[in-house]
Homo-oligomer: A and B are copies of this chain.
Amino acid sequence: MQTPRCIAIAVMTLDGKIARHHHHFTDWSSPEDKQFLREFLQRTDIIVVGHNTHEIASKELGKYNRIVLTTSVATTERKDEKLLLCNPESVDVRPLLEPYKLAGILGGMDTYTYFLERGLLDELYLTIEPLVFGQGLDLFASTKIITKQFKLESVKRLNERGSLLLHYTKL
């Protein structure tokens, strides 16, 4: 069994927050980060995204092949040609990814954590925006400590203010 290359893409504040709360739309990220996300999406064969993030971004994501992780279905349910719902508590996502070569993991927190905990994160594109929330949602919320080592492949400053795009691969 082969899984595709799984690449997470995330934007966070310099204090490591991906949102203020679960329904917080990403209206605080830079135009340059949004542009990078659009370009990234075109490289993917499949995107995996949590229910909340999918709701928030449904307009932008509609044209891509998606697996949406949600507890609203018992196991899996195909909604249309491009959209499969999957309950990650009852179904292993990996076999569903087999037909694909490059999966984009778009979050949010629970979806990033699902892939981290199963050792499925091959790469991570992390944009760090130069602001602080002081509290909010983390990139990961694992129930146990999972130390994973990465290597920084590249750093790109996206704008004058200092939004920073970091590219990591797992060691």
* CB pair A148 B131 closer than 8 Å: yes
This chain's copy number in the assembly: 2
A20, B145: Cβ atoms closer than 8 Å: yes
Cβ-defined contact, A139 with B16, below 8 A: yes
Q: How many residues of A contact B (CB 8 A)?
A: 44
B145 & A14 in contact (Cβ 8 Å cutoff)? no
B138-A15 in contact (CB<8A): yes
User: Does any Cβ of B come within 8 Å of A41's Cβ?
Assistant: no
Q: Establish whether residues B135 and A151, one from each chain, have CB atoms under 8 Å apart when the complex forms.
A: no
Scan A29-73; emit 1 where CB is below 8 A from any B CB, else 0.
Answer: 000000000000000000000000000000000000000000000
Q: Interface on A for B, CB 8 Å cutoff?
A: 12, 14-17, 20, 28, 113, 116-117, 124, 126, 128, 130-136, 138-153, 155, 157, 161-164, 166, 168
Going nearest first, the 7 A-B pairs with the smallest beta carbon separation are: A16-B16, A152-B162, A134-B142, A134-B146, A130-B150, A132-B148, A15-B139
